[in-house]
Structure 1
Amino acid sequence: MSLGTALSNPNSLISVPFLPLSSAEAFPMSKCSFKMEHPLERRQAEAHRIREKYPDRIPVIVERAEKSDVPDIVKKKYLVPADLTLGQFVYVVRKRINLSPEKAIFIFVKNILPPTAALMSAIDEDNKDEDGFLYMTYSGENTFGQL
């Protein structure tokens, strides 16, 4: 799938809205991660339901690294086409946070910087969490130092 197709077709990349599940919404400045906000059983049930309903999509949670200087992303849950590359997904994240072209962004999975040509399906297969979501962290600098 080309990036143009993924971005021009509203059904190809789906942003999943959050339902208020905790007090985190009342304190938007708090640094709670998705795992801290939602219990394991609930995350597992949601990921299972999503994967059953959308077998060609990957449920991804994207969060900013704690001390990063780039803007925070508003929507953290995404359903990503399995054949999208990490580079194409980085483009989506950059657009969501309105990052200027001269600023760098790094996306980490389990503190590792995967290759931009890697398919999201391959990254998911090797790195999905026990709850069924694929967790990614982004930063304006290579904070973890591993390639």
Structure 2
Amino acid sequence: MPSTSANQIGYVSPFKLRKTIVERKRMVQEIMRQQTDKVPLIIERMKDERFLPLLSHCKYLVPAHFTVADVMQIVRRRLQLHPDQAFYLVVNEKSWVTISMTVGQLYDQEKDEDGFLYIVYASQHAFG
């Protein structure tokens, strides 16, 4: 499997393909048992994205009261983006994200059957 260093522009298979649903559900159950006030996120680069680097890891735990804007700041910092470099977050590869919404609200509306909230990031170029 390729390295997932933050500087790499290559491709890494999605988390859902690397772990079975049973493994993913077990992970979420353990997280929720230990961290009741946190939301389990999987943040990955959009498949066709060519301008933004990969994150060093895809699993994140964030407080439910964080806003999507807070998550965007985390992603921006981890990607080491220039302040004027735009990127977008998309939930479940279909829904645009409102930045004022809390992660807890977003989780309640959009969590996957395995219990993770899946978010992909992309530059404006990925959307044409």
> Into which bin does the TM-score normalised by the smaller protein fall?
0.7 to 0.9
Q: Aligned pair in 2 of structure 1 residues 140, 30: CA closer, same or farther (>3 Å)?
A: closer
Aligned twin of 2:78: 96
Counterpart CA distance in 1 for 2:82 and 2:11 is 25
Q: Within the alignment, does 1:117 sit opposite 2:71 as a pair? A: no
Aligned-residue RMSD, C-alpha: 1.5
Number of residues of Structure 1 aligned to a counterpart in Structure 2: 120
CA deviation profile, 1:53-96 (whole Å, cap 9, x unmatched): 10100010000001211111111111000000000110000000
Pairing 1:1-147 to 2, within 5 Å after superposition: 24=1, 27-28=2-3, 29-68=10-49, 69-110=51-92, 111-141=94-124, 143=126
What SS does the corresponding residue of 2:96 show, helix, strand or coil? coil
Given that residues 112 and 118 in structure 2 are in contact (C-alpha distance below 8 angstroms), is that contact kept between their aligned partners in structure 1? yes
Task: Write out the 4+ residue segments of structure 1 that deviate beyond 6 Å after TM superposition.
Answer: none
Q: TM-score, normalised by structure 2?
A: 0.88
8 Å CA contact 1:106–1:142 kept in 2: the answer is no
* Structure 1: gaps spanning 5 or more residues: 1-23
Can you list the C-alpha shifts for 1:2-51, whole angstroms capped at 9, x where unaligned? xxxxxxxxxxxxxxxxxxxxxx3xx3344300000001101000111101
Higher RCO (Cα < 8 Å, 6 or more apart): 2
